[in-house]
Each structure stands twice: as C-alpha cells, then as structure tokens.
Amino acid sequence: MRKFKLFTDIDDKEETWLAEMAKKGYELESVWFGHKFRSIKPEIVTVRIDYRNFKNKEAFIDYCLLFEDAGWKHIAGTKYSGLQYFKQIKENAEDDIFSDAVSKAGKYKRFSNMWMSLAVCYLVMSVSYISGGHINVNSMLNPKLLYLTPGLWEKSGAEFWRRFLFETPFAFFRGFIWLLMPIITMIFIYSSIKARMLYNKQRKASQTS
C-alpha cells in the first residue's frame, strides 16, 4: 500500500502517524516514492526519524548496526535518502534516539542545511535562466505574442476557439515555465527556514532545562 502524505518538516507528527499506521497493521517499507507500507500483525511500536547522509556503504551499515544494537531497527531510508526511519525493538530501551536536546536539535540543523543547499542550486539556475534572456517581457504584457498559430487572431467562431484552446497550454508553458524555478527556490528557502526555526526552538529548550 502506498500513501502520499507530505510532511514539510520533521517534527513528531510523522513519527506519531507511522506509529498509528503500525497499530492498524501497516509497517513502513520505503519512502522512495510516497510512504510505502507492508502488511504486518498490528503492533504498538515507537517510530523515530533521524536525518543523515553517508559517504559510503560501510558508514551506512555501521550506523544501522549501532542503532540495531541499541534496540532500534532501521526500517526505511538509504545511504542518500537523508531521512532514516527506525522502530523500537527492545522493550527496555530508551524511547528516543537522542538523549539530549542539543543532539536532537542537530537533526533539524542538518535538515535545514540540506534545503538551503538545494535552494542555492535552484537560485543559481533561476538567475542564469532569467539573465540568459529567456524571458520575453513583451509577451508578459501582451500574451497574444505567445500564440504561434499563423493567423489565429484573424479567425473567428468555433474555428478560433478550437485552435485557441488547443494552443493555450503550449502558450502558457512558453510564457511562464521560467516562473517555476524561482517558485521552487522559494519553497526550498521556506522549508529551510522552517527547519532552522525548529532547530532554534530545540536549542532554546536545551538551555532552559
């Protein structure tokens, strides 16, 4: 079973949701494309999410084994996926994969940095695309220029509408596709700031406790 549910930040919501799914008999199998579940016997279990990437396979295996030794089975995530999912397998183990607020905050910092580096990539692409002269300001002001069918505007009636509607998606694509990159950049920056705020919140919590 596959479910598409977007979690823009990695706070406890996703962990709680995965625990509820396990209670209904679905265990997370992979997160490569949406959340993919396999059927299991319903169980009450704690799920925790870490954020880490690895240089090589050895480092990844070592990481998974350390968690498994400590009572946390790695259920989803790959060397490069960043998000790593664990479920508790030892009853008497601690109920979190972090034992202090500072290291828990570090997870949000790594997450925030990942979004920021993606945002920088897209920002560079946006700038080069825009400065490369792919945007025709004229066509922004006069969308008629985006339609390339010869003699389209002289036609009338059903013939006009048929051709006009046929070309509209293409014209839209031609005129506004460049907007996509700045929009994606903004979304990444937003995600990064959100994770950064979670990081600051955790850091503060560690200073007062």
Partner 1 sequence: MNRHKNLPLTETTYYILLALLEPAHGYLIMQKVEELSKEQVRIAAGTLYGAIETLLKQEFIMWIRGEDKRRKVYLITEKGKEVLRLDLERMQHMIRITEGPLGKRPMVRLTKNSL
Residues that bind partner 1 (CB under 8 A): 48, 50, 52, 58, 61-63, 65-67, 69-70, 72, 94, 96-100, 103-104, 106-107
Distance of closest approach, residue 103 Cβ to partner 1, in angstroms: 4
Specify the DSSP class assigned to residue 114: H
Cβ distance 194 to 188 under 8 Å? no
Give whichever of 1 and 61 is closer to partner 1, judged by the CB atom: 61
Q: Which is nearer to partner 1, 20 or 100 (CB)?
A: 100
User: CB of 52: closest distance to partner 1 in angstroms?
Assistant: 8
Which of 65, 140 has the CB closer to partner 1? 65
Q: CB of 62: closest distance to partner 1 in angstroms?
A: 5
Return d(Cα 192, Cα 91) in angstroms, integer.
35
DSSP secondary structure string for all residues of 3-47? E----SS-SHHHHHHHHHHHHTTEEEEE-SSSEEEEE-------E
Q: Which of 79, 72, 80, 100 is nearest to 15 (CA)?
A: 72
Residue nearer to partner 1 on the CB measure, 20 or 94: 94
Residue 69 or 91: the one with the smaller Cβ distance to partner 1 is 69
Confirm if 104 and 208 have CB atoms less than 8 A apart.
Answer: no
Least CB distance to partner 1 at residue 107 (A):
7
Within 10 angstroms of residue 192's Cβ, the number of other Cβ atoms is 20
- Closest distance to partner 1 from the beta carbon of 190 (Å): 26
What is each CA distance from 31 to 5, 50, 83, 87, in whole angstroms? 11, 13, 9, 15
